[in-house]
Amino acid sequence: MNELLVEDRGAVRILTMNRPEKRNALNTALTRALLEGLRAADAAESVACVLLTGAGQGFCAGADLSEFKDLTPEHRQRVEERAELTMQLQLAFSTMAKPVVTAINGAAMGGGAGLAIAADLAVMAESAKIGYPETRHGIVAAIVMANLVRQVGRKQAFELVALGEPIDAKQALALGMVNRVVPDRDLLSSALLVADKLSNVDARALRATKQLFHEVADLPLEEALLRGRELNKRMRAFHRA
Q: Please identify every residue annotated as catalytic.
A: 134
Q: What angle do CA 138, 55, 89 make, to 5 degrees?
A: 55
4 within 8 A of 17, measured Cβ to Cβ: yes
Q: Which of 113, 2, 118 is nearest to 59 (CA)?
A: 113
Instruction: Label the pairing between strands 129-131 and 108-109.
Output: parallel
How far is residue 187's CA from residue 179's CA, in Å, rounded to a whole number?
13
Amino acid at 53: T
* 134 contact partners, CB below 8 Å, separation of at least 6: 110, 140, 141, 142, 161, 164
Q: Which of 103, 105, 104, 82 is nearest to 35 (CA)?
A: 82
* 41 contact partners, CB below 8 Å, separation of at least 6: 13, 15, 47, 50, 96, 98
Report residue 14: phi and psi, to 5°: -95, 125
Determine the 3-state secondary structure of 89 from DSSP: helix
